[in-house]
Amino acid sequence: MLARDVIVAPLITEKSMSGTVNQQFSFEVHRNATKTQIRQAVEEIFKVNVIKINTTNVLGKRKNFARRGVRTSGKQSDWKKAVVTLKPGQKIELGGLNYFEQ
C-alpha cells in the first residue's frame, strides 16, 4: 500500500486541534492500515519522526429518513482514526499552511 493510500485525510476538529499542544495530530486512515504502515506513511509524507500511534475504528451512525411519507433507514460508513504523536519540536504543515496551529 502506498503512503498516499494509507493517509486519507487530516482531521481538523476542535478536539484534534487541542492535541497539537502535545505534538499529537489526527488523521483518517485506510481501514486495513496497520500502525507500522501509518508510521511509515507519516514519516515519508511529512518528513517528521513519529514516537507513538494510537488507532481506533469509528463505527458509522444509523440514520432514519422520512420522505414523502416513506420511512427508510441507512448507515454511514465505518472509518479508522489514527492519533500520531511526534518528537518534541516537530510539527506538520499541509500545503504550506499549518492547519494544526491555533
In angstroms, rounded to a whole number, what is the distance separating the alpha carbons of residues 96 and 5? 21
Q: Spell out the domain ranges in the chain.
A: 3-86
CATH superfamily of 3-86: RRM (RNA recognition motif) domain (3.30.70.330)
The model's pTM is 0.84
Q: Say how far apart CA 38 and CA 44 lie, in whole Å.
A: 10
Looking at residue 95, the DSSP 8-state letter turns out to be T
For residue 102, pLDDT over 60 is answered with no
pLDDT tens-digit series, residues 6-63: 999 999 888 988 888 889 999 999 999 999 999 999 999 999 999 999 999 999 999 9
Instruction: Label residue 101 by pLDDT band (50, 70, 90).
Output: low
Say yes or no to pLDDT of 76 above 90.
yes
Give CA 87 to chain center in angstroms. 18
